[in-house]
Amino acid sequence: MDATVDFDIRRAELADLPDIIALFAADEVGGHGDTTEPEAFADYLAAFARIDTSSLQTLYVACLGDDVVGTFQTTLLTSLSGRGKPRLLIEAVQTRVDMRGRGIGERMMRHAIERAREAGAAKVQLASNATRAAAHRFYERLGFVRSHFGFHMPLK
């Protein structure tokens, strides 16, 4: 990690929303249709409100001063399998392109892992686009193990 990069990780606030949207819109691989176009803002605002009011979901930002340089979201899931032990799902991990390679992603993941421990989770899980080879190496370096095939079905 670049020793000159000193940043904080905190729960996202409404004022962070434009910067978070810009992180997603800059992602050329994700293919989620994210955009900074003003007509899309209401969709993001509604999603932020649902996440922010949920007791099981948290949206985080990594900030360097006043600049949002990364984001991720966690969701605490519980099912009957595994004797009901919760697991923490990490989603929507993004580090600003010009800030990659400076330890921000690693610290965001370590923050999420610590939140999982505090919640008594049995494991932390995430999914990554199959084409993101560098991200896969990053997650494996942190101790994540490839264990399942993922499937999704887009709904119209």
In CATH terms, 8-141 corresponds, of 3.40.630.30, 3.40.190.10, 3.40.50.10240, 3.40.50.1370, to: 3.40.630.30
Position 31 confidence tier, pLDDT thresholds 50, 70, 90: low
Contacts of 8 (CB under 8 A, 6+ apart): 62, 63
Question: Does the pLDDT of residue 67 top 60, yes or no?
Answer: yes
Domain borders along the chain are: 8-141
What's the whole-number mean pLDDT along residues 29-55? 91
Q: Which residue has the higher pLDDT, 95 or 28?
A: 95
pLDDT computed for residue 1 by the predictor:
43
What's the whole-number mean pLDDT along residues 9-38? 90
Alpha-carbon Rg for the chain, nearest whole angstrom, is 16
Decide: 64 and 7 in contact? Cβ < 8 Å.
yes
Residue 26 and residue 24: Cα distance in Å, rounded? 5
8-state DSSP, 4? T
Contacts of 70 (CB under 8 A, 6+ apart): 7, 23, 61, 62, 93, 94, 95, 96, 99, 104, 105, 108
